[in-house]
Amino acid sequence: GFVRELERRAGPALRLEQRAAGGVGCVVWDAALVLAKFLETGACPLARRHVLELGAGTGAVGIMAATLGAIVTLTDLEELQELLLVNIENNKHLVTGSVRAKVLKWGEDVTEFQPPPDYILMADCIYYEESLEPLLKTLKDLTGPDTCVLCCYEQRTMGKNPEIERKYFELLQRDFELERIPLDRHDEEYRSEDIHIVSIHRKRAVGP
């Protein structure tokens, strides 16, 4: 593995191990850095809030939330648990909340993650067409009326990416309301024109 350091405003940097082999989950993506640093701006109060990260990969975003006082569950597939545990261990002295890792496969039962968390964090989770439906099912199953989902993604113009992205937001809007967080509210250093943060909430049930 090779270590990626993520500077923090207060105190020592996070040290995140990555893996050269093992696919997309093993690297700290730019969208994860942007979302982690956005959390540090204090835009969302995280102390003692329950936070769940979907597709956590290296755990960068969720571990940052835990250093800000959140009670965090990092979730990803079985094969990424070892990397998540290494990164939790490497950064546990910086955590002021708590952090644990659990297996969660999108589209499957989420009973053990109830009640709904205050926040769900997602960084760069939309790039496989076949994972869209399971991801949306998981989001619906996990969110309560007060859950705030923060989805950060890099806009990619290659191949099928634009189409997948469009389909994802189309499907999402059946059950959720979306609000793009303007660039000037992102961390001033960790921001980019093609990396977007969207705040997502369940639609309120209308009338009788």
How far is Cα 4 from Cα 70, in angstroms, rounded to an integer? 22
How many other C-beta atoms are found inside a 10 Å radius of the C-beta of residue 155?
13
- Between strands 148-154 and 195-202, the pairing is antiparallel
Q: Name 202's bridge partners.
A: 176
Q: Rounded to an integer, what distance in angstroms lies between the CA atom of residue 197 and that of residue 27?
A: 19
Domain residue extents for the chain: 2-202
SS3 204: coil
Planar angle of CA 67, 72, 78, nearest 5 degrees: 120
- The DSSP letter of residue 163 is H
Q: What is the pLDDT of residues 108-125, one digit of tens each?
A: 999 999 999 999 999 988
Compute the residue count for the chain. Answer: 208
Asked whether the predicted pLDDT for residue 127 surpasses 80, the reply is no
Which of 97, 99, 96 is closest to 86 using CA atoms?
99
Instruction: Tell me the two tokens of residue 157.
Output: 């113009």
DSSP structural state of residue 70:
-
- In tens, the pLDDT along 157-206 reads 888 888 989 999 999 999 999 999 999 999 999 999 999 999 999 998 77
Q: How many CB atoms lie within 10 A of CB 189?
A: 8
Q: Does the domain made of 2-202 have the CATH classification 3.10.450.50?
A: no
| Residue 62 confidence class, pLDDT cut points 50, 70, 90 | very high
Phi, psi of 44 (to 5 degrees): -120, 120
Instruction: State the pLDDT at residue 21.
Output: 64
Q: What is the mean pLDDT of residues 12-41?
A: 88
Nearest Cα neighbor of 77 from 37, 114, 131 is 131
